[in-house]
């Protein structure tokens, strides 16, 4: 089987056996097909060496790939060639001598409490769309959901009685996240006043699109967040993911346990969550330097 054939087999393996999310699969497909495009899809996998991987990296530099993008692609290639080793398609991996590029560690920017308040207050609650987007914004900040998780919520995933929402995360994993009363009230108002006018019969989406009543696309919500950020005077304009970062950081500021935050965010590795402790520590350090007489 040639290189392109093995790439297709590997992507099927990721889709069926590892049940990776569609966005993750798209990224794997993009990175692996770039290798096939560079070397030729008819190439035999056992003929690929470290020099060939080096050519791909050199081409990445010419096309403006950053260190983070190259690291992501190399991670996909490592997984692919490990798979080929297990399937006895190759005798050794060409990735053994390829070093991962150094990715600068950058802390995520989070919104301040005041910025979050202004953003949540931006929608006009007298309109259907304002009521919808206010409910989504409040729920996202209250639960720390990813934007794809928020847009794919089903009506059955929202439990107003117990104050919980069931999120479907990466790899199809589900988790229950508590929701505060303010967000619960906004979602309840949307469900009572607005959703019945837009959702079709038997429509499962919790947040029904005003156009057609189906699931709202995440690209639409992305534009909505930036539009309300302009209204709220927030600069630079945040992405929806900034609400997730802010959720985690504000919880840690309030004394939440790191393990609890990890569970709510749906992180498989505690190290992924620990980045937010660095943000909280920076604020503590500034407060110490400003207030302590011996600082």
Catalytic residue among 72, 175, 241, 253: 241
Q: Is 250 a catalytic residue?
A: no
Catalytic residue among 168, 195, 244, 245: 244
The four Cα atoms 160, 147, 247, 125 give a dihedral, to 10 degrees, of -60
Return the pLDDT at 87.
Answer: 92
Inter-CA distances, 86 with 10, 24, 49, 119, 155, Å? 12, 22, 18, 50, 42
Q: For residue range 17-30, what is the model confidence (pLDDT) as tens digits?
A: 887 777 788 989 99
Q: Is 242 a catalytic residue?
A: no
Q: Is the pTM for the entire model greater than 0.85?
A: no
Q: Is 28 a catalytic residue?
A: no
Catalytic residue among 13, 78, 166, 170: 170
Q: Tens place of pLDDT for every residue, the chain, 295 residues?
A: 899 999 999 999 998 888 777 778 898 999 999 889 888 989 999 999 888 888 888 887 777 776 677 788 888 999 999 999 999 999 998 888 777 666 555 666 788 889 999 999 999 999 999 999 999 999 999 998 989 999 999 999 999 999 999 988 877 788 888 899 999 999 999 999 999 988 877 889 999 988 777 888 889 999 999 999 999 999 888 888 888 888 888 888 888 888 888 888 887 777 666 666 665 656 556 655 666 565 5
Catalytic residue among 146, 168, 242, 250: 146
Return the pLDDT at 294.
Answer: 58
Q: Is 72 a catalytic residue?
A: no
Return the pLDDT at 126.
Answer: 94
Separation CA 154–CA 88 (nearest Å): 43
User: Per the omega criterion (within 30 degrees of 0), is the bond before 185 cis?
Assistant: no
Q: For residue range 194-220, what is the model confidence (pLDDT) as tens digits?
A: 999 888 778 899 999 887 778 888 899
Structure tokens that stand for 197 in this block:
């006018």
Return the pLDDT at 203.
Answer: 86
Q: Please name each of the domains of the chain with its CATH number.
A: 3-86 (1.10.150.130), 113-289 (1.10.443.10)
- The half-sphere exposure of 93 on its side-chain side, counting CA atoms within 13 A, is 16
Separation CA 51–CA 78 (nearest Å): 15
Please report, in angstroms and rounded to a whole number, the separation of the first and last CA atoms in the chain.
66
Q: For residue range 110-121, what is the model confidence (pLDDT) as tens digits?
A: 888 899 999 999
Q: Is 244 a catalytic residue?
A: yes
Return the pLDDT at 274.
Answer: 67
Q: Is 241 a catalytic residue?
A: yes
């Amino acid at each position: 089987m040639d290189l392109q054939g093995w790439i297709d087999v590997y992507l099927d393996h990721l889709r069926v056996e590892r049940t990776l999310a569609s966005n993750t699969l798209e990224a794997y497909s993009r990175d692996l097909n770039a290798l096939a495009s560079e070397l030729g899809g008819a190439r035999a996998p056992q003929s690929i060496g470290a020099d060939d991987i080096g050519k791909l990296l050199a081409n990445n530099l010419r096309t403006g790939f950053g260190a983070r993008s190259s690291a992501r692609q190399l991670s996909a290639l490592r997984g692919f060639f490990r798979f080929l080793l297990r399937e006895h398609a190759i005798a050794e991996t060409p990735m053994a001598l390829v070093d991962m590029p150094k990715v600068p560690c950058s802390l995520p920017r989070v919104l301040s409490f005041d910025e979050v308040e202004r953003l949540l207050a931006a929608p006009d609650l007298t309109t259907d769309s304002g009521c919808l987007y206010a409910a989504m914004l409040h729920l996202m900040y209250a639960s720390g959901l990813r934007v794809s998780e928020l847009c794919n919520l089903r009506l059955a995933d929202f439990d107003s009685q117990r104050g919980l929402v069931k999120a479907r995360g990466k790899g199809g994993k589900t988790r229950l996240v508590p929701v505060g009363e303010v967000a619960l009230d906004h979602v309840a108002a949307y469900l009572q006043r607005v959703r019945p006018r837009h959702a079709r019969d038997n429509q499962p989406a919790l947040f029904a699109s005003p156009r057609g009543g189906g699931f709202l696309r995440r690209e639409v919500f992305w534009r909505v967040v930036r539009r309300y950020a302009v209204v709220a005077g927030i600069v630079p304009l945040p992405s929806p993911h900034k609400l997730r970062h802010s959720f985690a950081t504000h919880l840690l500021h309030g004394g939440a346990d790191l393990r609890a935050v990890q569970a709510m965010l749906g992180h498989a590795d505690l190290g992924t969550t620990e980045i937010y402790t660095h943000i909280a520590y920076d604020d503590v350090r500034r407060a110490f330097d400003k207030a302590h007489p011996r600082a």
